[in-house]
Amino acid sequence: MAGLLISAPRVVPAVDDGGVLEPGYVGVTDGRISVVGAGPPPAPADLELAEGVLLPGFVDLQVNGYYGVEMSAADPDGWALVRGRLPETGTTAFLPTFITAPVAELAAELRWAASFGPAIPRGAARVLGVHVEGPFISPARRGAHNVGWIVPPEPAAVGELLAAGAGVLRMVTLAPEAEGGLAAVERLTAAGVLVSVGHSDATGQQVAEAAAAGARMVTHVFNGQRPLGSYEPGVTGQALTDHRLTSGLIADLHHVCREACLIAFATAPGRICLVTDASACAGMPAGRYLLGGEPIELPPGDGVPPRRPDGGLAGSALRMDRAVANMVSIGVGLAAAVTAATRIPADLIGRPDLGRLAPGAAADLAWLGDDLRTRGTWIDGERVYP
């Protein structure tokens, strides 16, 4: 593969001390980042971006569906559609997310995903594995999950999912306060699965015990969990103050208000991970769709999330570039917002080769315009959008 040198008015490397390079440049050789620097490039650029910002491709750890496709129920063509179009949003790697279903059904879905899911065809977003959100959650904090399919994390059920998901199960959201919850956290962690506390009515102490057992994340902080109280931190308070935990944040400004988003970034710098929690309705017109086999309705309006028949939220219609733009619009720094959508999720999922512009990293790049809308995307140094 030939080399590529790109210059841009702004470059966000998303490394620990990278800040924003104004201007900057990125060099690519054989699908890998070879050089990143500030100022004019050392040689004439192959591509001079006249506006906007160049940054790592986004890494989304929670995608239930997109473009009319529900990932847990899709056929290979459906997966190919989502993978082929996610680069339009700047996303270059993601975790398809299967929400609560009967354990045997989830196991069958995992076996099916393992048969082809992780392979990356040319021009498509990387599948980093599968995120199973449930069924080991709290009925009291179930959100859009079917209460009839929620079960405790008994050893047989945990073992069935681990066996079915060998090589593909990368993340599990569970409620650690359920009977057997801490044992499940330990077992999943030992198997190399990222455990996230979510849809949980746990106390702060119970969340701390889950972190001691190996949990490293909290799923969509502020949503589907015991909230922060004046005498009890709950899941939210523990998530934001426990340095072992990184919090997912649905940054559509509907799930979580502006002020709460700012509190999260201020309280837990470097420990916020932007996610879309996108449903099948994302990227689609208003209408009826499915989430976990249950009907949801996407109302008209830009960025408005879908709702269940009872009026509750049911995932989102969010794009990752919009998530970053939303955070910048409320006062989060550009570098912090980009890092929350790139390096932080990549590190959580154990992929230090993704989510950053640094020598040796995969050349997965996104170019956003001055409005922070995706203008171009590269995977392994190959332009895949437009």
Can the peptide bond before residue 23 be classed as cis, meaning omega within 30 degrees of 0? Answer: yes
Residue-level pLDDT at 2:
66
Cα–Cα distance measured from residue 82 to residue 70, given in angstroms and rounded to the nearest whole number: 9
In eight-state DSSP terms, residue 337 is: H
pLDDT at 180: 98
Out of 277, 321, 364, 380, the active site residue is 277
**Directed axis angle between helix 103-116 and helix 155-164, to 10°?**
20
pLDDT of residue 1: 45
pLDDT at 288: 92
Q: How many CA atoms lie within 13 A of 351 on its CB side?
A: 26
> What's the DSSP call for residue 25?
E
b/e map of 70-109 (b: 16 or more CB within 10 Å)?
bbbebeeebbebbbbbbbbbbbbbbbbbbbbbebeebbeb
Q: What pLDDT, on the 0 to 100 scale, is given for residue 117?
A: 59
Three-state secondary-structure class, residue 133: strand
Query: CA–CA separation, 140 vs 28, rounded Å?
Result: 50
Query: Residue written as tokens 């990356």?
Result: 120
Q: What was the pLDDT predicted at 123?
A: 82
Q: Which of 46, 11, 69 is nearest to 278 (CA)?
A: 69
Q: What is the DSSP letter of 378?
A: E
The CATH 3.20.20.140 portion of the chain extends over 58-348
Strand 194-197 relative to strand 65-66: parallel, antiparallel, unpaired?
A: unpaired
Helix runs in 153-213, H state only? 155-164, 181-190, 204-213
For CATH 2.30.40.10, the residue range(s) in the chain are 4-54+360-385
Spatial contact of 262 and 272, defined as CB atoms under 8 Å apart: no
Q: Which two tokens stand for residue 342?
A: 């790139």
Q: What is the pLDDT of residue 118?
A: 60
CATH topology for 58-348?
TIM Barrel (3.20.20)
The SS3 of residue 267 is helix
Q: Please name the residue ranges forming H helices in 191-243.
A: 204-213, 234-241
Are 334 and 20 in contact by the 8 Å Cβ rule? The answer is yes
From the number of C-beta atoms within 10 Å of its C-beta (0-12, 13-18, 19+), residue 123 rates as middle
Pairing of strands 130-133, 4-8: unpaired
Torsion (CA) 158, 159, 160, 164 in degrees, nearest 10: 110
CA neighbours closer than 13 Å in the CB half-sphere of residue 111: 10
Q: Name which CATH class applies to 4-54+360-385.
A: mainly beta
Query: Which contiguous run of DSSP H or E holds residue 56?
Result: strand 53-56
Q: What is the pLDDT along the chain (386 residues), one digit of tens a residue?
A: 469 999 999 999 999 877 999 999 999 999 999 999 999 999 999 999 999 999 999 999 999 999 999 999 999 999 999 999 999 999 999 999 999 999 999 999 999 999 875 666 678 999 999 999 999 999 999 999 999 999 999 999 999 999 999 999 999 999 999 999 999 999 999 999 999 999 999 999 999 999 999 999 999 999 999 999 999 999 999 999 999 999 999 999 999 999 999 999 999 999 999 999 999 999 999 999 988 888 899 999 888 999 989 888 989 999 999 999 999 999 999 999 999 999 999 999 999 999 999 999 999 999 999 999 999 999 999 999 99
Q: Whose CA is closest to 30, among 62, 56, 57, 2?
A: 2
Question: Residue 9's pLDDT is what?
Answer: 98
**Residues 284, 220: Cα–Cα separation, whole Å:** 23
277 is catalytic: yes
Q: Specify the pTM.
A: 0.96
Tokens for 370, please give them.
Answer: 């001055």
Number of neighbouring beta carbons within 10 Å of residue 119: 9
